Amino acid sequence: MESSKLCETRANKTQLQHCINLFSANTRSLKGKTEELSARCCQYEIICLTETHIDSTFPSHQIFDFSGKCIYRRDRTLRGGGVLIAIDDTISSQQITVENTDDTEIVFVRINEAAIIGCYYRPQSDTDFTTLTSALEFITGRYPNDHIMLVGDMNLPGIDWRTETVRPHTPNKQLHYDFIMMMKLHGFSQLIQSPTHIHGNTLDLICSNRPELIYEHDVVTPGLSDHSIITAAIEMESTRPGATTRVIKL
Secondary structure of 223-234 as H, E, C letters: CCCCECEEEEEE
Residues of the chain short of pLDDT 70, as ranges, are 1-17, 237-250
- Contacts with 250 (C-beta within 8 Å, 6 or more apart), sequence order: 220, 221, 222
- Contacts with 86 (C-beta within 8 Å, 6 or more apart), sequence order: 46, 47, 48, 49, 63, 64, 69, 70, 71, 72
In CATH, the number for domain 3-249 is 3.60.10.10
Q: For position 237, what pLDDT does the model report?
A: 56
130-172 residue pLDDT tens:
999 999 999 999 999 999 999 999 999 999 999 999 999 999 9
Contact in structure between 201 and 3 (CB atoms under 8 Å): no
**C-alpha to C-alpha distance for 137 and 200, rounded to whole angstroms:** 32
Contact in structure between 61 and 84 (CB atoms under 8 Å): no
Q: Is the pTM of this model over 0.75?
A: yes
